[in-house]
Amino acid sequence: MKAFSLAHNAALVTGSSKGIGHAIALGLHEAGAAVVFHGNTARPENMPEGSGFVQGNLLDPTAAPKLVADAFAVQPKLDLLVANAGSFFDRPFLEMDPETWDKTMNLNVRATYFLCQAFAKELIARKRPGAMVLVSSTNGFQSEEDSTAYDSSKGALVMMTRSLSQALIEHGIRVNGLAPGLIRTPLTSALGFGDKSLHYEKKILLKRLGEPEDCAGTAVFLLSAASAYIVGQVVVVDGGLTVSQIGRM
């Protein structure tokens, strides 16, 4: 179905040196898009030939507009954005300090907001329609132990998706969201989710943790003409994690 093709599009995917962002970037490439990858450090080795790369630390409050400018310099035809960059820095609520809270919000919320703003300004200046996907989390809908700052940031992204969709639709820019559940990534491995996989498999209807590639198809769909009548929605990609109250005993 040609509606799913991104052959005439170009996309920037933040946080795409590894994990979910990398899988999404590869999925967009497979669907035909020219892709600009992003990471904090050097250019990743496993990028498709001909792809662009921009480097920048989005914890820097001034980084988002520069990152967008650099991406358009690499690929002037950009019309798609996947705002995926984010991380987890939490500690128990009663031990939370302002620095950790600010670090979470600066990366997960502030950077995403001003990244989308800068990208939208570029599209509007070029009189070019486009689409964005904000990557939040099932933590934006359901709380998790010792995850108060992260949960709050991902909840903010859920509402940001809806709010930006209203702000930008008159400019021909569609905004939607993707909320992954428990996905096997370097971050979740470092947090020890893999050690609890049997417990999670009892809660997830598909009986397995997700893989980064499980998120790629949804991102392609939300950025393609196949979803042209979908605006301001957050699609949950969790294998059924949030469907069942109790899970299997």
The chain-wide mean pLDDT, for the chain, equals 94
The rounded Cα 237 to chain-centroid distance in angstroms is 12
Is the predicted pLDDT of residue 4 greater than 60, yes or no? yes
* 12 within some domain: yes
* 146 within some domain: yes
Number of H helices, E strands in the chain: 8, 7
pLDDT in tens, 106-133: 999 999 999 999 999 999 999 999 999 9
* 209 within some domain: yes
* 21 within some domain: yes
Between residues 166 and 244, the one the model is more confident about: 166
Model-level pTM? 0.94
Confidence (pLDDT) at 173: 98
Banded pLDDT at 10 (limits 50, 70, 90):
very high
Banded pLDDT at 191 (limits 50, 70, 90):
low
What's the whole-number mean pLDDT along residues 98-102? 97
Which of 113, 150, 200, 229 is catalytic? The answer is: 150
Other residues' Cβ atoms within 10 Å of the Cβ of residue 18: 15
200 flagged as catalytic = no
For residues 216 and 66, give the distance between their C-alpha atoms in angstroms, rounded to a whole number.
Answer: 26
Confidence (pLDDT) at 196: 63
For residues 65 and 156, give the distance between their C-alpha atoms in angstroms, rounded to a whole number.
Answer: 20
- Could you give the count of Cα atoms lying within 13 Å of 91 in the half-sphere of its Cβ? 9
Grouping H, G, I as helix, E, B as strand and the rest as coil, residue 149 is: helix
* 18 within some domain: yes
pLDDT in tens, 47-69: 999 999 999 999 998 999 999 99
* 247 within some domain: no
Residues comprising the chain, all counted: 249
The residue range of the domain holding 189 is: 2-237
Q: Using CB atoms within 10 Å of the CB of residue 242, give its burial: 0 to 12 exposed, 13 to 18 middle, 19+ buried.
A: middle
Banded pLDDT at 197 (limits 50, 70, 90):
low
Residue 113: give its domain's CATH number: 3.40.50.720
Burial 43-55 (b: 16+ CB within 10 A, else e): ebeebeeebbbbe
Number of domains in the chain: 1
Q: Tokens standing for 169? A: 């639709």
* 245 within some domain: no
* 36 within some domain: yes
Q: Percentage of the chain with pLDDT > 90?
A: 86
For residues 34 and 39, give the distance between their C-alpha atoms in angstroms, rounded to a whole number.
Answer: 17
Q: Using CB atoms within 10 Å of the CB of residue 65, give its burial: 0 to 12 exposed, 13 to 18 middle, 19+ buried.
A: middle
